[in-house]
Structure 1
Amino acid sequence: MNSLSAFHRPLGSTGLQVSPLGLGTVKLGRNQGVKYPNGFELPDDRQASALLDLARDLGINLLDTAPAYGISEQRLGPLLRGQRQHWVICTKVGEEFENGHSAFDFSARHTRFSVERSLQRLETDYLDLVLVHSNGDDQTVLDDQVYPTLAQLKREGLIRAYGFSGKTVEGGIRALEQGDCAMVTYNLNEQAERPVLDFALSHNKGILIKKALASGHLCLHGEDPVAKGLELVFAHPAVGSAIIGTINPHHLEQNVATAIEVLGR
């Protein structure tokens, strides 16, 4: 079986080593209000466990989750028992999703509450990476208490690194100036945030890519959209990992095989 293990790389200066593809887990916990082309049923525990085992066998060590991903964190905790040392776990703060609606809170109190709740749900005593789930008003979010609180939680040893999942170049660069990592939209359709990647490269900061395949909406006539999408992403040396959200084992294997082909060139 093809494996990404040989292609693990540092995530900026965080000290974390990550696989070039990470597994996004929104589809383990939420199927309401998601921007995918087709509806889907949440996998049962057996299917979810098999998917995680496959990801690990394929050399994926990065899992991306969030409180806003429905019951994703609550499910991952039991599913990952006995495997903690094999995974780099990234979760988020700031966004809550309840009854089909998102709400945002970037206060110090809620940030600490959210991290402590994630630790309980994920059944771990530390989180590798915590990102701020921005509402799009990046500068205002960064003016709030969320970043100083994450810095304090890092000093306390509850998190190893922190960063920002935003929507703007200005927010991404400011977040990297003060934190460890940014999660950036970057794909064949959307490259406006490339300056954030350039800044990260020159300052040895971590970059994770979201929507690398445009959430399944990527279409190219006569060419493999996954290969072309990953070629673009991995061509930038700042990129640590691209988060791919899938619950289809075949798609996961295909994406890993394509990534290995692109990275091996």
Structure 2
Amino acid sequence: MTLAHLHRPLGNTGLQVSPLGLGTVKIGRNQGVKYPSGFDLPDDGQVRDLLALARELGINLLDTAPAYGTSEERLGPLLQGQRQDWVLCTKVGEEFVDGQSRFDFSAAHTRFSVQRSLQRLHTDYLDLVLVHSSGDDLTALEDEVYPALQQLKQEGLIRAFGFSGKTVAGGVQALRDGDCAMVTWNLREQAERPVLDYAADHGKGILVKKALASGHICLEGEDPLTAGFELVFSHPAVSSAIIGTINPLHLRQNVTTVAGILERRTAGTAD
């Protein structure tokens, strides 16, 4: 099973993304994360193999962030010569230092963060940059971060920008002025559905985070993967779900499940 033939547009950004994206927090940080069990960070060889497997499985979307520890720094050298194969998404606003998060949504820090990500990822442009919300979505959006991202987009340093938030009001406001929102949407949490509805009505992009509730859904029911992904892709606004695994077997299982769901839907539509 592969997702290569199932890529879809991310709203009206012009980006084509695989329905599953690879989240990379687990290659850079294992402190202060909310997974069911602890884990060791993989070595460079394991990460290189995971990236190769993701490409083989038709995944082209990589999600990282400065707040993901050493994720960006590790990805940069490992992606050498592959830039054209990936849609790179990173974030601004949150820094994770000495086990603590701090937030800065100023124009100066936004530009600094983007330029640092460009250097770390060994690229001269970023496909998508999202604002990492502190939880107070509207206050963050009232700061300088969105105008700064718009300016960076005009300069060609980023292709699209948006918001990874926690509230309906924040998600809708972010979509009014930006290109994309990353929302929580899973079997346990569906409160942000109005954000997905707004995106569908206005041609905006939606990425789903915590599609499997940070792995907790995988502990429930007879076929939790299928049930979870059926719900995630039941909404037409969803372009891609970010899966933060470092387990090759889990990655294959996720791809097989999603490919099966989307192919059945395509066949049903054709009928």
Return the offset for 1:251: 0.3
SS in 1 for 2:233: helix
Alpha-carbon separation, structure 1, partners of 2:156 and 2:71: 23
Q: What aligned pairs does 1:72-221 form with structure 2 within 5 A after superposition? A: 72-218=71-217
Return the offset for 1:264: 1.2
SS in 1 for 2:21: strand
SS in 2 for 1:235: coil
Of stretches 39-48 and 217-226 in structure 1, the one that deviates more from structure 2 is 217-226
Q: Deviations over 1:73-112 (max 9, x none)?
A: 0000000000000000000000000110000000000000
| One-letter code aligned to 2:138 | Q
Q: Deviations over 1:47-69 (max 9, x none)?
A: 00000000000000000000000
TM-score by length of structure 1 reads: 0.99
Return the offset for 1:219: 5.3
Return the offset for 1:222: 4.3
Alpha-carbon separation, structure 2, partners of 1:37 and 1:190: 17
Distance 1:220 1:250, change over 3 A: closer
Q: Deviations over 1:21-63 (max 9, x none)?
A: 0000000100011100111110000000000000000000000
Structure 1 runs not aligned, ≥5 long: none
Distance 1:207 1:219, change over 3 A: same
SS in 2 for 1:151: helix
Return the offset for 1:223: 2.4
Alpha-carbon separation, structure 1, partners of 2:98 and 2:202: 41
SS in 2 for 1:162: strand
Any conservation in 1 of the 2:212–2:218 contact (CA below 8 Å)?
no
Q: Tell me the residue number matched to 1:16.
A: 15
Distance 1:13 1:108, change over 3 A: same
Q: Tell me the residue number matched to 2:269.
A: none
SS in 2 for 1:163: strand
Q: Tell me the residue number matched to 2:35.
A: 36
Return the offset for 1:260: 0.8
Alpha-carbon separation, structure 2, partners of 1:240 and 1:97: 28
TM-score by length of structure 2 reads: 0.96
Aligned-residue Cα RMSD (Å) equals 0.8
| One-letter code aligned to 1:246 | T
